[in-house]
Amino acid sequence: MDKTILNTKQAAEFLTVSPGTLQNWRSQKFNLPFHKLGGRVIYFRDELERFARGSEIKVVRGQKGKR
């Protein structure tokens, strides 16, 4: 297990989103794993990896309509 601790900026870079997006996900109960430590928000890298794998979205392309 990788218990590396990330701050919000590092976590946003890891997930390739903005820090503001992480803040929105936290406030909207988006199941984003985070912890409060002395008033600071921290993330564990392994939890973010599981979150990212569980949040994968499969894109299915439809067939083009016949003309």
Domains along the sequence of the chain with CATH: 5-54 (1.10.1660.10)
Mean pLDDT (whole number) for 9-23: 95
Contacting residues for 6 by C-beta, under 8 A, at least 6 apart: 14, 42, 43, 44, 45, 48
| Residues 6 and 41: beta-carbon distance below 8 Å | no
Who contacts 56 (Cβ-Cβ below 8 Å, separation ≥6)?
none
What average pLDDT does this structure show over 38-65?
Answer: 78
- Give the per-residue pLDDT at 30: 82
Q: Tell me the percentage of the chain whose pLDDT exceeds 70.
A: 78
Q: How confident is the model at residue 12 (pLDDT cuts 50, 70, 90)?
A: very high
